[in-house]
Amino acid sequence: MSAAIHWRRDIHRHPEVGFAEFRTASRIAGRFADLGWRVRTGTDAMSAADRLGVPDAESLDAAYERAAADGADERFLPRMRGGLTAVVATVDSGQPGPAIGLRADIDALPIVESVDSGHLPARDGFRSSYDGVMHACGHDGHIGMAVELAERLAERPLTAGSLTIFFQPAEEGGRGARAMVPVGLADRIDLFLAMHVGLGLPTGRYLSSVDGLLANSKLKAVFHGVAAHASIAPHEGRNALLGAATAMLGIHALPRIPGHETRAGVGRISGGTSSNIVPDRAEMLLETRGDLGVVNEHLESRARDVLTGAAAMHGLTVDIETIGGTTTATADPEAVSAIETAAVSAGLQVADGLPVGLASDDATTFMRHVQENGGKATYVGLGATLAGPHHTPAFDFDEAALPLGVDLLESLVRLGQTFA
Amino acid sequence: MSAAIHWRRDIHRHPEVGFAEFRTASRIAGRFADLGWRVRTGTDAMSAADRLGVPDAESLDAAYERAAADGADERFLPRMRGGLTAVVATVDSGQPGPAIGLRADIDALPIVESVDSGHLPARDGFRSSYDGVMHACGHDGHIGMAVELAERLAERPLTAGSLTIFFQPAEEGGRGARAMVPVGLADRIDLFLAMHVGLGLPTGRYLSSVDGLLANSKLKAVFHGVAAHASIAPHEGRNALLGAATAMLGIHALPRIPGHETRAGVGRISGGTSSNIVPDRAEMLLETRGDLGVVNEHLESRARDVLTGAAAMHGLTVDIETIGGTTTATADPEAVSAIETAAVSAGLQVADGLPVGLASDDATTFMRHVQENGGKATYVGLGATLAGPHHTPAFDFDEAALPLGVDLLESLVRLGQTFA
Amino acid sequence: MSAAIHWRRDIHRHPEVGFAEFRTASRIAGRFADLGWRVRTGTDAMSAADRLGVPDAESLDAAYERAAADGADERFLPRMRGGLTAVVATVDSGQPGPAIGLRADIDALPIVESVDSGHLPARDGFRSSYDGVMHACGHDGHIGMAVELAERLAERPLTAGSLTIFFQPAEEGGRGARAMVPVGLADRIDLFLAMHVGLGLPTGRYLSSVDGLLANSKLKAVFHGVAAHASIAPHEGRNALLGAATAMLGIHALPRIPGHETRAGVGRISGGTSSNIVPDRAEMLLETRGDLGVVNEHLESRARDVLTGAAAMHGLTVDIETIGGTTTATADPEAVSAIETAAVSAGLQVADGLPVGLASDDATTFMRHVQENGGKATYVGLGATLAGPHHTPAFDFDEAALPLGVDLLESLVRLGQTFA
Amino acid sequence: MSAAIHWRRDIHRHPEVGFAEFRTASRIAGRFADLGWRVRTGTDAMSAADRLGVPDAESLDAAYERAAADGADERFLPRMRGGLTAVVATVDSGQPGPAIGLRADIDALPIVESVDSGHLPARDGFRSSYDGVMHACGHDGHIGMAVELAERLAERPLTAGSLTIFFQPAEEGGRGARAMVPVGLADRIDLFLAMHVGLGLPTGRYLSSVDGLLANSKLKAVFHGVAAHASIAPHEGRNALLGAATAMLGIHALPRIPGHETRAGVGRISGGTSSNIVPDRAEMLLETRGDLGVVNEHLESRARDVLTGAAAMHGLTVDIETIGGTTTATADPEAVSAIETAAVSAGLQVADGLPVGLASDDATTFMRHVQENGGKATYVGLGATLAGPHHTPAFDFDEAALPLGVDLLESLVRLGQTFA
């Protein structure tokens, strides 16, 4: 079993949600340190204040303790306390050459993984051991490829330029990149790429530039009402859940915009305690997306109107908090060209047509930052046949794609010499 | 501090929700055993299969462990494992005389208790030490009065008939009485009463019969949909939360019925995980109530139509489970008369007018059962001025009512001789 | 066929909605004038400015023309133009004695009458000849009784006191009484009664005081949005119907109030034109009711919050207009006693129990006014077995009740001598 | 004033909705007959049974009478009674050459036209004289161009092939083309085009093929409930409007489909009569659209689930009727090329980029039919700068576009000789 697959499976079995990737991040940091890379963690790798949607202290502590008990690397774990789970690892040839940057995201999702016998992780014993959390988007594979790449570079070092890998927490929700950019480690990157497995592309194929990443806004709305006994005095209550239910229907009813990709939806509601108490609190997670920033802004603005109007309808107040968001970005031809050259070496074929890649990814925040500082960037799709769709309990990808991805990355960094 | 108040405060500080009253019930059993009563627990006191709305095993285990660590009576605790938290305590004079039955409910509510300095339990240090659980309906007082009554009877024993106290778990939600009646301990009760503090009556007043307890039905509905990535493939999902939100609005819109008390509402919704996953599951707690059984049945039937229709609208399925319910009951004049006689002895005045007592209580299940077996029954309101409404974080009652309540109960059981 | 039945059937065949009772009112005026009563119409009988919910000019004109073509009394019709359809008819004995007032309402409802062969008006040829309008509440019977009473008094005149009949337009919606009171004709009434047929009471029975008439508020809400092509530019529209639909669900979800009668509902929505145009206008008729004025005010206030909140949710504005409303009133024991005495003479039996008479009636506006001026008042229920419920297409009442009602009224006015 | 503008203004002043274009169609028939064309009307031009969404008989009769009184051509009017308002006019050179077909749609929309002084039709006196109906999509211009083209061909006849103009009723809603195709007059068309003014293209520009016409489905849903007095017996009613409001929110909440154009919305609701009657009937017009037939079918299917589910929720039944619908179609390169050649002659420039032309048009039904029979087809956009968007009260187009459009059509039909 290759290092990529070995690591992928270990990480898959121990999935951690955004900013709680204590085991994941500390083990990455340890491995890269052992391989001789310069490793930055904690506030050297990210700005605590620029994070969005950080879990509450209790959840973070519980995740921290679990990680400590479950194989975290104690050399790095303490610096990550409180959700500082970014890791930046750099290897430098000491010779002139391009500074290449690679984003690898490391967080999992709050999904209960399938126990179906047809689901490979279940059958082969690497299904999530953490209830209700799952690597259902392939980030475990991104980590695996990064580790195998490092091992290859340990055997046969770079001869020109440098490579920096940005292990980013909290990609889901678009919450982590914005906290890593401010510390400045991406300021001098010449060539930046994010690479994502799956996306509907079959194993053996790739895309040098995934267009259509959507701008998005993630909001948390908390409706506050008045509790009351639901039978003795329902009229003295103000039912926070009624506000949430009404708002949900209004948000889903936001209009489509011809010629554009739009999304608007609620992914979570939680409110009330028992049937005989008028709920005084309801919490909602929602998001809007658009293929242009202005499209997303239009939808977000209208979603906010829906939230405040629904609160007013039912005598409630509502607090709205931005807990995540991404921008759009455009690939540079120079970066695309570099990827294409590397792909030829790696024996990958260009995919037919575009993926349905209309998701979002805050790798765009890195991309825009690199571009604003004069570097070039792209977002690469690495084919990996899927057993189930992204973000679903049956998600799984063809692990045969991982060595191919490492080949592509290796080719790129070795070709890097010729890039600048 | 009287025993009633002392016990009330201890129980108040350690509130436990329905079927999880491990500490509460075991300590009651221990105290009554120590006072020489015959104490029945576990399956001698209740039928496990007739319970409704039992918490999941994990929650019960956690509550059990907490109780074990927090002062539960180890003599009785093990028999209660798995939620068998009813206790039936009997003292028998050995002489002819009426068999009197008293229902004392022992469960708390999932409410975060006020931390306000004006809130007596907070100020005097007996605020709930269990986060998110609170005695917000006065059941702690019911326990306190029962203990003090037992202590008085220990000092000066009954001379005729017997007294059986039914310590009932899970009154909230109407889930416990139905599990206690089948074991037969109420079959031969001659005079049965439930007594409830508060209800809007001031300290020093009482009502010999609280009319208007509503029949109710408590339902748990779980909507099942299909998960999908909310941006890549929203159309492949079926959003369980949309079904729940739609159903909630439909349930609250059920019509009023002229001349009758009706209630229909949703007290809890929980569904989905994050904003970028179409929720494949949403859970809802709801209830209907009516001042007649048929009124409640009409509303429950229509609520079920709302649930299944809302599921069909959004391509979902829905499982509906009855998790609780109460019936109505009517007081017997003989029982009312006995209470009134006792109240004179206890120095209590009849309250002006009815309380707004339009709640539900599954004491009615005991009442009907006793009546069907030839006994007499009533539901007594014991005045206790309130600092905040029932079922709200600021609920508190005037403890000065507790000795008065014990006086009333003591007079009744001593007068019992003359009842039959 | 008695005059009451004859008139009832003629009026039934020619139903006219509130403020459009041109044929009805002019014929009443003509008949009473012919019988020698003093008849007041137009602005002598009502204040135009105090009306609520007046139909638009076009509708009034059309109704006026139809009446003119269909047997209206031309002597009185012109004074009624524009919706001044109140008639006040007085007969005075010239002798001392009480001034008795009787309210008879004259308007019909916007309902399509049943064509079922089991429906007596259909079978016997007096079904509504005006499409979509129907006497579905018995006001036609009220008119019939008033006419027969007048005919009897013509044969055998009053010997003491006076009788004034207030033929009130627009009782439905609570819009007419408030326009009649200001002209002062009810200022000196000593004994006032409104009498209503049906109400669930069987023929031969009566109630001397119908308690529980609800206060109500009738509102018209017009949502204004922005039109757009529903396919080319839906996002440029603001859909007024979405506001109305959202508000409707919110209004029906207003909480019940324990111990009180409450109603809250939407009876009409009309908005938009075709499926491919985003609707820029939606109109809604709604009402709230309560058994106390404050209960109704609470509901109305919350309904207004719902309307404005729903508009804000969807980027709309909303205009809210009060188009009707009633108050509550309490019967005077003296009036009740007078009715009971008269009922004995008329051979009517007291009904068992209350009717479900939890409707509203702006006769309460007259009652309160009379009482504030020192008179006595009550609201009488006259039993008349129903073939179908009030306000439904199958409504019909047992005409045998009409002579009994005339007997009651005649007894009352002849006994009136002894009242004061 | 050119014939095109003269006719456009007359038609604009007398707008008639789909299948009620009695004045419009009869005058077109008369003019073309006078110019010597072969004119087919009534059942020679369309199949009555294949129409969808035909207005009720009463509305058709009223429109017919209005047309008769307002300048309809009596020679053709009687054949159109009942909504047979299609006209097919053919001129044949008698010489070999292509059979060219042109679709000109003739219906107006249920919109109240702007009275603003900045609105040209208002200022220049040709605003709609029919309340609530408006030519707000430019079909009046299509008629004007067809007439002027015929006048030019009268002066200088065709020398090869033939031209058939299909004056189609009820384009709005996609209801008319399907009734014209079955009579067979389009079976042998070699080159077919529909031409539409506006679409966001400026005067002087054109598009030889408007891509992206959406497939759509227009549905009429009628909810049936049970009427009841809203205060006396609301629980005996089943509120049809609650079903409609609930369904509307559900339809607007149907998911977007990534990478595709989707629409789903309600354009009209009408239900209930007054606030005190529970509505037993509510009518709704809705539509779905998609850029592929399967996309639209998916949405329509889910909309039907929403309708039936919402009815079930509230104890209602619902009847769903298809009242219109269009398919998609693709232009043929040969047809595009012919248009481009003609446009050069006419001096028109190709528009920059696509229009936002994401509407629907049942010209696609003609196009597919022609193509299935071996002919070629396209849908042409004729630039005409707009004063307000399509389907809004302020819609107006630059009349200077009309002679340009006639030039284009004339060039095409004269070039036709070279086409085949």
Cβ–Cβ gap C247/A309 under 8 Å: no
CB contact under 8 A, D358 and A253: no
Q: Does A356 touch chain C (CB under 8 A)?
A: no
User: Which residue in the set C172, C234, C357 is minimally distant from D276, CB to CB?
Assistant: C172
Q: What is the pLDDT of residues B164-223, one digit of tens each?
A: 999 999 999 899 999 999 999 999 999 999 999 998 899 999 999 887 788 899 999 999
C370 in the same domain as C284: no
- Decide: C163 and C154 in contact? Cβ < 8 Å: no
In degrees, rounded to 5, the angle at the alpha carbon of residue C180 between the alpha carbons of residues C178 and C181 is 70
Please state, in angstroms and rounded to a whole number, the distance separating the CA atoms of residues D353 and D340.
16
| B195, two tokens | 């007594």
Predicted confidence at residue C420, as pLDDT, reads 45
The percentage of residues in chain C with a pLDDT greater than 70, rounded to a whole number, is: 97
B313 and chain D in contact, CB less than 8 A: yes
- How sure is the predictor about B418, in pLDDT bands with cuts at 50, 70 and 90? low
**Rounded distance between C-alpha atoms, residue B101 and residue B186, angstroms:** 7
3-state secondary structure chain D: CCHHHHHHHHHHHCCCCCCCCHHHHHHHHHHHHHCCCEEEEHHHCCCHHHCCCCCCHHHHHHHHHHHHHCCCCCCCHHHHCCCCCCEEEEEECCCCCCEEEEEEECCCECCCCCCCCCCHHHHCCCCCCCCCCECCCCHHHHHHHHHHHHHHHHHCCCCCCEEEEEEECCCCCCCCHHHHHHHCCCCCCCEEEEEEECCCCCCCEEECCCCCCCEEEEEEEEEECECEECCCCHHHCECHHHHHHHHHHHHHCCCCCCCCCEEEEEEEEEEECCCCEECCEEEEEEEEEECCHHHHHHHHHHHHHHHHHHHHHCCCEEEEEEEEEECCCCCCHHHHHHHHHHHHHHCCEECCCCCCCCCCCCHHHHHHHHHHCCCEEEEEEECCCEEECCCCCCCEECCCHHHHHHHHHHHHHHHHHHHC
Positions in chain D whose pLDDT score sits under 70: 353-358, 416-420
Q: pLDDT-derived band of residue A12, with 50, 70 and 90 as boundaries?
A: very high
**Mean pLDDT confidence for A233-243:** 96
Please name the helix (run of DSSP H) or strand (run of DSSP E) that holds residue A379, with its range, or none: strand A376-382
C-beta of residue C19 within 8 angstroms of C-beta of residue C177: no
Last residue of a domain, one of A325, A350, A381: A325
- The parent domain of residue B206 ranges over 3-213+329-418
Q: Are residues B241 and B207 part of one domain?
A: no
Q: Does A228 touch chain B (CB under 8 A)?
A: yes
Number of other residues whose CB lies within 10 A of the CB of residue C6? 13
Contacting residues of D for A253, CB less than 8 Å apart: 249, 252-253
- Contact partners for chain B, using 3 or more CB pairs closer than 8 A, are A, C, D
Q: What is the pLDDT of residue A420?
A: 44
Tell me, yes or no, if B297 comes closer than 8 A to chain D by beta carbon.
Answer: no
Which of A253, A259, A356 has its CB closest to that of D253?
A253
Q: How confident is the model at residue B351 (pLDDT cuts 50, 70, 90)?
A: confident
DSSP for C231-263 reads TT-GGG-B-HHHHHHHHHHHHHTPPP-TTS-EE
Beta strands in B256-358 (DSSP E): 262-272, 277-278, 281-290, 317-326, 349-350
Judged by CB atoms closer than 8 Å, whether chains meet at A249 and B267 is answered as no
Same domain, D34 and D150: yes
Chain B residue whose CA is closest to D246: B246
| Nearest C-alpha neighbor of D102 from the set D153, D62, D57, D51 | D153
Residues B125 and B250 placed together within one structural domain of the fold? no
Look at B232 and A263 and tell me if their CB atoms are within 8 Å: no
Residue of C258, C302, C313 lying closest to A310 (CB–CB): C313
Q: How far apart are CA B42 and CA B37, in angstroms?
A: 16
Say if residue C26 is in the same domain as residue C146.
yes
Q: Read off the tokens for A268.
A: 């979570």
Q: Which of A214, A273, A276 comes nearest B231 by C-beta?
A: A214
Residues D360 and D277 in one domain: no
Nearest residue to A284 via CA among A269, A294, A262, A302: A269
Q: How far apart are CA C408 and CA C340, in angstroms?
A: 9
Res A356: pLDDT: 52
Q: What is the pLDDT of residues B22-77, one digit of tens each?
A: 999 999 999 999 999 999 999 999 999 999 999 999 999 999 999 999 999 999 99
Q: Is the pLDDT of residue B21 over 70?
A: yes
Q: Is the pLDDT of residue C353 over 90?
A: no
Q: Which of A306, A325, A344 is where one domain is finished?
A: A325
Selected for mutation to probe chain D from C112, C214, C274 (highest D CB count within 10 Å) is C274
Q: Are D318 and D223 in contact (CB under 8 A)?
A: yes
Q: Which chains touch A (3 or more CB pairs under 8 A)?
A: B, C, D
Chain B environment of D310 (Cβ under 8 Å): 309, 313
Q: Residue written as tokens 């005097």? A: B124
Separation between Cα atoms, residue B27 and residue B37, nearest integer Å: 14
CATH number of residue B285's parent domain: 3.30.70.360
- B225 plus B345 within the same structural domain: no
Do B204 and B345 fall within a single domain? Answer: yes
User: How many independent structural domains does chain A possess?
Assistant: 2
- pLDDT at A416 (0 to 100): 60
Query: Which residues is A386 bridged to in the sheet?
Result: A397
Phi, psi of D173 (to 5 degrees): 95, -10
Which residues does chain C have within 8 Å of residue A305's beta carbon, measured at their own beta carbons?
A: 312-315
**Which of these three, B325, B353, B387, is where a domain ends?**
B325
Q: Write out the two tokens for B214.
A: 């509503």
At residue D354, the pLDDT reads 59
Interchain pair B250, D242: CB under 8 A:
yes
Comparing C-alpha atoms, which of A167, A194, A148 is closest to residue A399? A148
ipTM of the complex: 0.81
Residue in A closest to C238 by C-alpha: A255
Query: What is d(CA B344, CA B362) in angstroms, rounded to the nearest whole number?
Result: 28
Residues A181 and A294 in one domain: no
CA–CA distance from D221 to each of D57, D250, D268 (Å)?
A: 19, 14, 10
Does one domain contain both D380 and D405?
yes
Decide if D288 touches C, using CB distance below 8 A: no
Chain mean pLDDT for chain B = 94
DSSP state of C270: E
Identify the bridge partners of residue A380 per DSSP, sorted by sequence position: A195
Buried b (16+ CB within 10 A) or exposed e, B125-147: ebbbebeebbbbbbbbbbbbbbb
- Mean pLDDT for A264-286 is 96
pLDDT at position B420 is 45
pLDDT in tens, D282-340: 999 999 999 888 899 999 999 999 999 999 999 999 999 999 888 888 899 999 999 99
**Which of B415, B419, B417, B408 is CA-nearest to residue B148?**
B408
Mean pLDDT score across all residues of chain A = 94
Chain D contact set for A249 (CB, 8 A) = 249-250, 253
Token look-up 């007959």 returns D33
Asked if C211 has any chain B CB less than 8 Å from its own CB, the reply is no
Q: Verify that D204 and D346 share a domain, yes or no.
A: yes
Chain C adjacent subunits, 3+ CB pairs under 8 A: A, B, D
Q: Cβ C256–A235 below 8 Å, yes or no?
A: yes
Tell me how many residue pairs between chain A and chain C have CB atoms under 8 A apart.
Answer: 78
Chain A window 121-140: which residues touch B at a Cβ cutoff of 8 Å?
A: 132
* C259–chain A Cβ distance below 8 A for any pair: no
Q: Is A247 on the interface with C (CB under 8 A)?
A: yes
List the single residue in C249, C256, C259 with the smallest CB-CB distance to B249. Answer: C249
Q: Between these two residues, C212 and A323, which has the higher pLDDT value?
A: A323
The verdict on A227 touching C (C-beta cutoff 8 Å) is no
| Residue in A with minimal Cα distance to C237 | A255
pLDDT band at A373 (very low <50, low <70, confident <90, very high): very high
What percent of chain A shows pLDDT beyond 70?
97
Same domain, D209 and D219: no
Q: Which two tokens stand for residue C83?
A: 């919706």
The residue assigned the tokens 């609201």 is C379
Distance, CA of C64 to CA of C70 (rounded, Å): 10
Residue labelled with tokens 């009485």: B177
Q: What is the CATH number of the domain that holds B100?
A: 3.40.630.10
pLDDT (tens digit per residue) in C245-299: 999 999 999 999 998 999 999 999 999 999 999 999 999 999 999 988 889 999 9
Which residue among C255, C258, C312 places its CB closest to the CB of A308? Answer: C312
**Residues of B with CB below 8 A from C262's CB?**
256
Instruction: Classify A359 as helix, strand or coil.
Output: coil
Give me the residue from B253, B255, B358 closest to C249, CB to CB.
Answer: B253
User: Judging by DSSP bridges, how do beta strands D215-224 and D281-290 pair with one another?
Assistant: antiparallel
Are A249 and C247 inside 8 Å of each other by CB?
Answer: no
Cα D328 off chain centre by = 15
3-state secondary structure of A413: helix
CA nearest neighbour of B142 among B115, B169, B160: B169
**Pick from D21, D235, D12, D210: nearest CA to D126:** D12
Residue of chain D with shortest Cα separation from C137: D229
Among D136, D288, D393, D357, smallest CA distance to C226 is for D393
Q: Is some CB atom of chain B closer than 8 A to the CB atom of C350?
A: no
Q: Does B273 sit within 8 Å of A111, measured CB to CB?
A: yes
b or e along C238-273 (b: 16 or more beta carbons within 10 Å of the residue's beta carbon)? bbbbbbbbbbbbbbbbbbbbbebbbbbbbbbbbbbb
